[in-house]
Amino acid sequence: MVNKDRLVDLFLELVQIDSISQQEAELAQRLIKELKYLGLKVRQDDKGNIIAYLKGNLRNGKTILFNAHMDTVVPGKNVKPIVKKDRITSDGSTILGADDKAGIAIIIEILRILKERQVLHGDIKVIFTVEEEIGLKGAKSLEVEDVQADYCFVLDADGDVGTVVNRSPAQDSLEIIIKGKPAHAGICPQKGISAIQIAAKAISGMKLGKIDQETTANMGVIKGGRATNIIPEEVIVKGEARSHSLKKLERQVKHIIKRFKKAAEELGGEVDIKISRSYNSVAVPNNSPIIKLTEVVAKQIGFKHKVVSSGGGSDASVIYAHGVPTVAISIGMENVHSKQEYIKVKNLHDAAKYIVGIVRTVNKQ
């Protein structure tokens, strides 16, 4: 049922359309044209997200939402895909962009199949988001009614086809502005207060990395200082904490705050700390209908079904927060966010077969 050659051709076309974050317009126009041709009602919101709707041909059928994101990380301009036997890579100078254009290509192939084969289905929603890679900004701008569905499948996970991601952590982002006091480093350093020293003292005593099986933390950006002969008066530190447990996340954030405040107090400086929730956790029960559906389909096709947790966020984090049963589906991409990114043709084909199976089976459950 899946046209492998057509699917691969579309994928190769899409990865050659530049769409790094905040530069998705050309790709969006290509997809809007395709979706309209396939008979979907299509609109684009103010943020640039594509929201499309296909009316079902099955009375009382379940509404399914398929999601993928249009943007890529850098270096993602002038991608030159290479097909070697069963593997698709870039030429090594850029990423490939399977994250997440493989997901987009699969969704388009599914819609083509629905049109050609007259497959019975409930209402189908498709959302292609912008700016996923820089903070899920596109998904966060969606209206609640845009995402309402019985089930949502986010085609944006690496790993073997048949793998389903049902848990992901909440993340808090932190920005810490440390204020010291400037002074000449050679003449009167004792009159200064080093903001860099405060930052170093705070971070050196901090629990970072993998805190436990559910929690991680990292200080990832430090900016400060003007010259080597000036005691630095200001430093900006940016970090994050993630956890599948909100209590553990709160505890880790409090620990980070305490370390910075204590270091500033001991060395005579000041700190201003800003905390924001980047996204909430996802926790779909293993015995929920959406998980059972993915298991049934995997067995029908002969795939090994695995339910796993992720350490990162995706559009699933935002959609799930609106009360929609949501899982991320592994589509076979590997080494994402690197020049070594690749996807096997077989995995691309198998992932499309898996999604077709979901559409055909969802209303039989």
Catalytic residue ranges: 71, 132
> What six digits make up the tokens of 300?
């029908």
> What six digits make up the tokens of 28?
């969006």
Provide the 3-class DSSP secondary structure of residue 108: helix
Return the axis-axis angle of helices 345-361 and 4-15, rounded to nearest 10°.
110
The per-residue DSSP string of 148-175 comes to --SEEEEEEE-SSTTEEEEEE-EEEEEE
Q: Do the Cβ atoms of 21 and 133 come closer than 8 Å?
A: yes
List 13's β-bridge partners, or say none. none
> 309: part of which helix (H) or strand (E)?
strand 306-309
Q: Which residues contact 19 (CB under 8 A, 6 or more apart)?
A: 26, 27, 70, 71, 72, 76, 97, 101
Omega prior to 100 cis, within 30 of 0: yes
- Give the DSSP letter of residue 62: P
